[in-house]
Structure 1
Amino acid sequence: MHKHYEQVNSQLTQNIAFKLKVPIEAETSSFNTYFCLLLANNILQEKGVENGSNTVISPFSFHLLLSLIAVGSNGRTLEQLFHCLGSKSLEEINSLASQMIDLASPFKESNGVSIGEPDLSFVNAAWVAQHLKLKPSFQEIVEGVYHAEKVVAEVNAWAETATRGLIRSLLTAEALKVVNEDTALILANALYFKETWAQLFDTSKTKQRVFHLLDGEKVHVPFMTSNRFERYLYNKFEDFKILKLPYKTKQLLQMFKSNPEYFNKRFDLVNEKISDFWVPRFKFEFEPPFNRRKAEITEMVDSVTGRLFVRKMFHKCFIEVNEEGTEAAASTAVMIEQQQQSVNPNPSFVADHPFMFMIKEEISGVVFFVGAVLNPSLDS
């Protein structure tokens, strides 16, 4: 398998690109949270609930890869991507992408010393078939707004390095089977996130408790807890509760089977003393399936004898939540092929039933990760 991929890779010339800051001039659209949550909802319904498995995806990673595809698209495909991304023009898409990438590079220099939290990084990469040449306009976008870097190894090795070893084998054996002489482009990105809680959990207080599965079965898993009557931003609704756990430098859970738009509005969370608080530790990896898609991709390369279309998309996510904080990573790759021709005075929050979680930047509304824990004892 490795030798086969090296042979394929030898027929691809790595796109040399540079990290450039693009000034934000156009009025930008907002991050389309609704689309990302609808995507997560579909994956949850098709893959998670059916198999009782945990799920996690990175809307941030998807959003930026779809943005890059939009830059190289035309016609109805571009219109559909505008709708999905909540944008009206390529200027809006590129401007928002620039802001999102800057958001994932929050480190500043102070007297030569890098400061800032959390540990957050994001990179893009592009492989281009040797017989094809990127259109200057698309190459400028790849090298500028999306901060693509020179790629000197296989996609898998690149993704593993970019995610600090958390995402391995992004392109599976199935991917290697479909990489052939018709493969024109491989676009990929990788996101890494690691942050500690504003208030760490005491590991000595972690203990085994019962978690109730969707099928009525019970499993015993380690639950973390805090001091009684600790204050959290919290609210209770008819069918669910939401509690916000802040990270060290930043100031949701919910059931959204029928209405993912819940997260598109601001909840009136109140600073409450929580009498009984328990949340399970969990650690798992998730890889949703994607089917073959067609698209009008005409603005990426010159001298194409056949139409380009998205042959396959791959996405893999990893997350670990424990007493110290959260570590998560995601990588997305797309293969583009050339076609021949009312609140309680002392409320409690005990997450002992399946729940949803989200890692979200408050000011911009950008969602880095969203997922569901149906069984915290799996993949741990």
Structure 2
Amino acid sequence: MFVDSSTRLIFANALYFKGAWSKKFDASRTVENDFHLLNGKSVKVPYMTSSKKQFVEAFDGFKVLRLPYKQGEYNKNQFSMYILLPDLYDGLTSLMEKASAKPGFLNQHIPIKKVELDAFMIPKFKISFGFEASTILKGLGVRMPFTTGGLTEMIDSAEGQDLYVSSIVQKSFIEVNEEGTEAAAATAAVTRYMCDFDEDLDFIADHPFMFIIREDITGAVLFTGHIMNPLEN
């Protein structure tokens, strides 16, 4: 964000989340293994593992894992991270398109019971991301804030006639490890396909996947993203 002598106002909002898993991972069981990239190569990354039952369900073409966070001492909010893992190594794009095209997609694909898994591995990761959003917003047809006088309804001042938004900067950060998750962001009738749990079931997130952090009582989504390479941050 560029600030100079012509800057008059900076509007900012922020969202911060730090959650500990309801059942923490044992760091001594973290192991290195391959994570398969879309270009056919692989990288060695640290994987968190556990032999405990997990909230996992298999659907047509993908699996969903729910990892609950510990509830706060003074409130009843229930937060969870959901990992949506395509069956195919290169299936992330198709899964993301499906998820974004269907309202209530996550609500229709929430694991409802804990199951035994033959194998369970999810990578540790830490990512940060930032971009300038004004071009995208203009492309969507948002015009008023970016023109002179576009902020007159917000600024109770004669100077407001000459103000406009010059840039909008979005930044986000998320880290997932054995303890839990730390994340922050700032901006200036259902048909289900359930697997037969008598068959072998595992959850090995060793290729690109998407994740969602949400509050389960209200359904409010705090963060969503995807991991192409856990080592990239």
Q: What's 1:309 paired with?
A: 164
1:180-229 per-residue CA deviation (whole Å, 9 max, x = no partner) reads 42x342111222211110101111111111100111110110000011xx
Tell me if 1:257 matches 2:100: no
C-alpha distance in structure 1 between counterparts of 2:213 and 2:101, whole Å: 16
Tell me if 1:206 matches 2:30: yes
Equivalent AA in structure 2 for residue 248 of structure 1: K
Structure 1 residue matching 2:68: 3-state secondary structure: coil
Structure 1 residue matching 2:216: 3-state secondary structure: coil
Instruction: Tell me how large the CA RMSD over aligned residues is.
Output: 2.1
Structure 2 residue matching 1:264: 3-state secondary structure: coil
Equivalent AA in structure 2 for residue 365 of structure 1: G
Q: Residues 305 and 370 from structure 1, CA distance in 2 versus in 1: closer, same or farther, beyond 3 angstroms?
A: closer
Contact between 2:152 and 2:161, CA under 8 Å: does it hold in 1?
A: no
Note the 1:240-279 alignment, pairs <5 A: 240-249=62-71, 250=78, 252-254=82-84, 255-262=95-102, 264-265=104-105, 266=107, 267-271=109-113, 272-279=115-122
Equivalent AA in structure 1 for residue 195 of structure 2: V
Structure 2 residue matching 1:257: 3-state secondary structure: helix
Q: What's 2:183 paired with?
A: 328
Note the 1:116-195 alignment, pairs <5 A: 171=1, 175-176=2-3, 179-181=4-6, 183-195=7-19
- TM-score where L is the length of structure 2: 0.75
Structure 1 residue matching 2:9: 3-state secondary structure: strand
Q: Residues 305 and 263 from structure 1, CA distance in 2 versus in 1: closer, same or farther, beyond 3 angstroms?
A: closer
Equivalent AA in structure 1 for residue 187 of structure 2: T
Q: What's 1:348 paired with?
A: 202
Higher relative contact order, chain-length normalized (CA < 8 Å, sep 6+): 2
Q: What's 1:362 paired with?
A: 216
Equivalent AA in structure 2 for residue 286 of structure 1: F
Equivalent AA in structure 1 for residue 112 of structure 2: V
1:271-308 per-residue CA deviation (whole Å, 9 max, x = no partner) reads 12222110000012111232344324331123247454
1:245-290 per-residue CA deviation (whole Å, 9 max, x = no partner) reads 0011136233313541447241252312222110000012111232
Q: Residues 376 and 268 from structure 1, CA distance in 2 versus in 1: closer, same or farther, beyond 3 angstroms?
A: closer
Q: Residues 195 and 259 from structure 1, CA distance in 2 versus in 1: closer, same or farther, beyond 3 angstroms?
A: closer
Unmatched segments (≥5 aa) in structure 2? 72-77, 85-94, 145-149, 189-193
1:102-141 per-residue CA deviation (whole Å, 9 max, x = no partner) reads xxxxxxxxxxxxxxxxxxxxxxxxxxxxxxxxxxxxxxxx
C-alpha distance in structure 2 between counterparts of 1:186 and 1:219, whole Å: 41
Equivalent AA in structure 2 for residue 283 of structure 1: K
Q: What's 1:196 paired with?
A: 20
Equivalent AA in structure 2 for residue 222 of structure 1: P
1:326-370 per-residue CA deviation (whole Å, 9 max, x = no partner) reads 11122211xxxxxxxx41424111000101111101122222111
Structure 1 residue matching 2:28: 3-state secondary structure: helix
Q: What's 2:91 paired with?
A: none
Equivalent AA in structure 2 for residue 253 of structure 1: I
C-alpha distance in structure 2 between counterparts of 1:188 and 1:305, whole Å: 18
The counterpart of 2:226, out of the listed 349, 363, 372, is 372
Aligned length: 193
Equivalent AA in structure 2 for residue 238 of structure 1: D
C-alpha distance in structure 1 between counterparts of 2:173 and 2:110, whole Å: 30
